[in-house]
Amino acid sequence: MKPLCLVVVALWTFTLAGVAAETRNPFDVPDPLAETWWTDEEQMALFTNHILLDSKLAQSLADHLIVSKGPAGKRGGPDPQTTRQHLTSQPPYLLIPDFASFPRPTNDILRDLFGQMSRHTNVSLQFFALMCRAEGGDRSAAEAILKYPSRKDLSPGDINVLKNIFHGIGIDVLRDTPEFILEMAKRMSPRADGEVRERQKMPAGIAAPDFEIKTLDGKAIRLSDYRGKTVLLHFWSTTCGPCIGEFPQMTKALRPMLQRRKDLIVLAVSLDDNRKTIREAVKKYDLGDFTHLCDGRGWASVPARLYRITGIPSDVVIDSKGIIRADSWRQLEGLLGTVSEKK
């Protein structure tokens, strides 16, 4: 090839590479396990950052706090009086956890106040205000969340914050629908009590949704590959204290069953985003009897979405015919005994 041709080809190649780099959406995350996500300290900073507010907006918000309904921890957020202190300080500010102190924006005044917050210059405040509006059934708020990838006013810092928030909550802004956002906003709301979340679980007696996911070794498996076996889907995370706390009791109970019953398998779905961290936890907590799965999408993990997981540890027990039978590993022994008797 002549030198001139080589130069032309090289320039064309660099041009194409440049176009690809410019056109690739920064919110497109093809391999979450290869991403560098927030550290624990950076994640904590999201919740402790003082977001300054206009004094008039702050006063209006202070006038619409939820009247105390018992211990603040029950709602998963601060006491409304603490939020009031934030809103009436000089200068007034909000913390992201303060959103738990507000009622759903279901009337015109609240919708206007949350609308003002969703137009704030701070993108984390924007996002959580939009989620609160979506919780109240505002489809336009759900649509606004899905429009973040097409916005041209976001700085690289804004994009980094939003990518981490989306990843942590389990939103895929390039592929989700407004309906999904509306449903998720209600399920993940700090105002959704235990009874509400219980009703949202997958009911026993229905067919278990099939899915594909990879093992820690990169092998793709499907739930349907295990038809004919009783399957325990166990959802957990290396950062979940209750998950770690129950492992000694869980492994002590399940190990004999797994050795005795070849028609039983535990598929442990990690909601983490680092394969190395999961492997270290598997070794540390002696979880080698389980088959470990992870797609690196956290709460956006395909099985977590399909099975409406809003808290961990969580279980789904699926019988040999692919029917959901129970929601706890503690029910396995009784269920396997019933199956044996039928045989």
What band does 343 get if pLDDT is binned at 50, 70 and 90? very low
The residues, any chain, with a CB within 8 Å of residue 79's CB and separated by 6 or more, are 68, 72, 101
Q: What's the pLDDT at 13?
A: 45
User: Do 141 and 48 belong to one domain?
Assistant: yes
Is 196 a domain residue?
no
Is 81 a domain residue?
yes
User: Do 165 and 279 belong to one domain?
Assistant: no
Q: In angstroms, rounded to a whole number, what is the distance separating the alpha carbons of residues 122 and 126?
A: 6
Q: Total structural domains in the chain?
A: 2
Give me the mean pLDDT over the 253-270 stretch: 95
Q: Give the helix/strand (H/E) hosting 129.
A: helix 123-135
DSSP string for 94-105: E-GGGGGGS---
**Considering only CA atoms, which of 79, 111, 270 is closest in space to residue 190?**
79
Task: Give the lowest-confidence range in 182-191, 277-286, 303-312.
Answer: 182-191
**Considering only CA atoms, which of 110, 182, 112, 108 is closest in space to residue 140?**
182
Q: What's the pLDDT at 102?
A: 93
Percent of the chain with pLDDT over 90: 68
Task: Give the lowest-confidence range in 9-18, 186-195, 233-242.
Answer: 9-18
Is 22 a domain residue?
no
Give the CA diameter of the chain: 81
pLDDT digits (tens, 9 = 90+) for 164-176: 999 988 899 999 9
**Residue of 189 and 248 predicted with greater confidence:** 248
pLDDT digits (tens, 9 = 90+) for 181-192: 998 888 777 765
Task: Give the lowest-confidence range in 22-26, 72-76, 305-309.
Answer: 72-76
Q: In angstroms, rounded to a whole number, what is the distance separating the alpha carbons of residues 107 and 7?
A: 64
Structural domain containing residue 218: 201-342
Q: What's the pLDDT at 101?
A: 93
Domain end: 136, 162, 187, which one?
187
- Total-model pTM: 0.78
Give me the mean pLDDT over the 257-269 stretch: 95
**Residue of 131 and 68 predicted with greater confidence:** 131
Q: What's the pLDDT at 20?
A: 41
User: Do 167 and 213 belong to one domain?
Assistant: no
Task: Give the lowest-confidence range in 66-70, 80-84, 141-145, 157-161.
Answer: 66-70
Q: In angstroms, rounded to a whole number, what is the distance separating the alpha carbons of residues 289 and 314?
A: 18
User: Do 210 and 244 belong to one domain?
Assistant: yes
Domain end: 138, 157, 187, which one?
187
pLDDT digits (tens, 9 = 90+) for 86-133: 999 999 999 999 999 999 998 999 999 999 999 999 999 999 999 999
User: Do 216 and 141 belong to one domain?
Assistant: no
Is 70 a domain residue?
yes
What band does 2 get if pLDDT is binned at 50, 70 and 90? low
Q: In angstroms, rounded to a whole number, what is the distance separating the alpha carbons of residues 49 and 47?
A: 6
